[in-house]
Amino acid sequence: MLLTPGEYEKLKEKASKSDEYFDKFLRIQAEFDNYKKRLEKEKIEFIKFANSDIILDILKIVDDFERAVEAGKSKHDFDILYKGVEMIWNDLKEFLKQKGLKEIEAKGKPFDPHEHEAMMQEETDDEPEDQVVEEFQKGYKFNDRVIRPAKVKVSKKPEK
């Protein structure tokens, strides 16, 4: 079957359009690849410097420690040094609290495996079963997510 000159021209136009669309597709694909690479690079840069504000705040606390150490060297007064370190400790705890860190309450609370890590059990009649009777290490939540469970001793009823 032979093509008429009109059909041939239409086919040529469609082939030309097809080439044009394919060329556009290739350019868009290249632009998208470049966009992905640029986005990945920006993400790496963001992560690299995301904590710079926190580091600046911590540097204030480091400066306070340096001043306390210098004061301790020159005055040789333990009470002054202790008070200075205690003030810095309170500032640090407040700073961490403002950033979303919260201590997990453990002692006297029912054992919760999501917040507590049982290190030992103690047989006792003085406490209800599965009650935290001692805290070995504090646990912490960061923005309501447990980042370190409290290490605890848990009560259990004595075997008879």
Domain-by-domain residue ranges, the chain?
8-40, 53-99, 101-160
What are 111's two structure tokens? Answer: 């054992």
pLDDT value for 13 = 94
Single-letter amino acid code for the residue at 123:
E
SS3 assignment for the chain? CCCCHHHHHHHHHHHHHHHHHHHHHHHHHHHHHHHHHHHHHHHHHHHHHCCHHHHHHHHHHHHHHHHHHHHHHHHCCHHHHHHHHHHHHHHHHHHHHHCCEEEECCCCCECCCCCEEEEEEEECCCCCCCEEEEEEECEEEECCEEEECEEEEEEECCCC
pLDDT score for 43: 94
**CA–CA distances in Å: residue 123 to residues 55, 132, 135, 153:** 46, 12, 16, 10
The token pair that represents 95 in the structure block: 């700073």
CATH class of the 101-160 domain in this structure:
mainly beta
pLDDT of residue 115 exceeding 90, the answer is yes
Beta bridge partners of 155: 122
d(Cα 59, Cα 95) in Å, to the nearest integer?
12
Q: What is the pLDDT of residues 25-58, one digit of tens each?
A: 999 999 999 999 999 999 999 988 888 888 888 9
**How buried is residue 62: exposed, middle or buried, by Cβ count under 10 Å (0-12/13-18/19+)?**
exposed
Position with higher pLDDT, 76 vs 101 = 101
The pLDDT assigned to 73 comes to: 79
Q: Is the pLDDT of residue 1 over 80?
A: no
Q: What is the mean pLDDT of residues 98-124?
A: 94
pLDDT on residue 109: 95
Q: pLDDT tens-digit profile of 139-158?
A: 999 999 999 999 999 999 88
Residue 107 contacts residue 133 (beta carbons within 8 Å): yes
Instruction: Say how far apart CA 65 and CA 87 lie, in whole Å.
Output: 10
pLDDT of residue 57: 87
pLDDT at 159 over 90: no
Query: To the nearest whole number, what is the mean pLDDT of the chain?
Result: 91
For 43-96, write each residue's pLDDT tens digit.
Answer: 999 988 888 888 888 999 999 888 888 887 787 778 888 888 899 999 999 999
Structure tokens at 34: 């470049």
